[in-house]
């Protein structure tokens, strides 16, 4: 639902799904990522801040600010990660006018060729969002879901059973069907690698978006070292991505560089491609701008 206080709009996840134009968002994201990789001085984003909650390190508060002076907006994404709670991930994105600091919009976050095969590993909030967006943007011959607790994968499958009859649940990561996937999205907070070259088809592409700390791993060393690696931010990945830092893998380029120079990867001979994303606040800023300007 949406609500309005004075001139500020508030969106829950259902309203975002209803109102967010993916085509408009794609255009804005492409422009923002190109500018980010070009060191555009009007687009500023520091590294995220992370604060453990309580005595242990499991529960975390994350803050991700950014400003787009060219468009006149600034945004702050705030996330809480509580692995033993449901939902484990919650948060908000706040959009402000960068000229006067006025709060414009707030988003409550929770859950967003020949036909290829898609696999999504992790069926929580991020897995739900990836399934929704990927099925809106692309047509898939088959979709495989996996989760440590198979009940969550079955529940996500059932949620989409009326719309899609191509979804199947994998029993485990050694299931031979996983090797059919052309694209694999990993959306977990695992500290042990889930994927290896033995589990991925040759030439496969992986979107590794779940792990975001140095202690977290979704892809093993051999897979990382035999892949062309694209990241959203070289600075963030070199300091925060356990998959990259622990494996000592080489980053090929930022996604913004690839968008700006489409032939950049033409000479790459790697067996696999990996997009390692830690998430950029400019991406959330783009989504908030699309919602605000569509009012």
Residue ranges covered by each domain of the chain: 39-109, 117-283
Q: What is the CATH number of domain 39-109?
A: 3.30.1780.10
Q: pTM for the full model? A: 0.65
**CATH homologous superfamily, domain 117-283:** NAD(P)-binding Rossmann-like Domain (3.40.50.720)
Could you give the CA distance from residue 166 to residue 83 in angstroms, rounded to a whole number? Answer: 30
Give the torsion through C-alpha atoms of 168, 17, 206, 150, to 10 deg: -40
Q: What is the pLDDT of residue 161?
A: 79
Type and span of the H or E element at 60: strand 60-68
Span 30-36, mean pLDDT? Answer: 91
pLDDT, tens digit, 9 for 90 and up, residues 135-153: 888 889 999 999 999 999 9
pLDDT at 7: 64
Residue 67 clears pLDDT 50, i.e. is over it: yes
For residues 223 and 196, the answer to whether their CB atoms sit within 8 Å is yes
Q: Predicted confidence band at 112 (pLDDT cuts at 50, 70, 90)?
A: very low
Tens of pLDDT, residue by residue over 84-101, are 776 677 888 999 999 999
CA separation (Å) from 141 to 113, 121, 183, 187, 193?
11, 17, 12, 21, 27
**Cβ 17 vs Cβ 246: under 8 Å:** no
User: What six digits make up the tokens of 64?
Assistant: 């991700």
Q: What is the pLDDT of residue 86?
A: 61
What is the Cα–Cα distance from 25 to 36, expressed in whole angstroms? 16
């Amino acid at each position: 639902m949406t609500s309005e206080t004075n001139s500020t709009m508030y969106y829950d996840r259902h309203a975002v799904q209803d109102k967010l134009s993916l085509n408009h968002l794609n255009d804005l994201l492409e422009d923002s990522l190109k500018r980010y990789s070009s060191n555009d001085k009007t687009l500023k984003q520091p590294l995220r801040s992370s604060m453990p909650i309580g005595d242990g390190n499991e529960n975390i508060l994350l803050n991700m600010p950014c400003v787009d002076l060219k468009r006149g907006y600034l945004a702050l994404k705030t996330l809480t990660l509580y692995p033993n709670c449901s939902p484990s991930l919650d948060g908000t994105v706040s959009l402000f006018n960068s000229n006067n600091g006025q709060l414009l919009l707030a988003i409550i976050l929770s859950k967003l060729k020949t036909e290829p095969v898609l696999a999504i590993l992790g069926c929580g909030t991020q897995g739900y969002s990836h399934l929704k967006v990927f099925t809106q943007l692309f047509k898939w011959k088959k979709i495989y879901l996996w989760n440590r607790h198979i009940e969550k994968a079955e529940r996500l499958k059932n949620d989409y059973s009326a719309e899609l009859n191509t979804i199947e649940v994998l029993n485990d990561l050694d299931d031979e069907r996983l090797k059919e996937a052309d694209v694999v999205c990993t959306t977990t907070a695992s500290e042990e690698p889930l994927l290896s070259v033995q589990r991925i088809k040759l030439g496969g592409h992986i979107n590794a978006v779940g792990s975001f700390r140095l202690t977290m791993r979704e892809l093993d060393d051999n897979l990382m070292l035999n892949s062309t690696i694209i990241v959203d931010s070289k600075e963030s990945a070199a300091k925060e991505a356990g998959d990259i830092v622990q494996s000592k893998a080489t980053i090929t380029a930022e996604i913004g560089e690839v968008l700006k120079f489409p032939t950049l990867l033409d000479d790459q001979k790697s067996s696999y491609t990996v997009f390692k994303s830690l998430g950029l606040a400019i991406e959330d800023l783009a989504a908030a701008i699309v919602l605000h300007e569509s009012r």
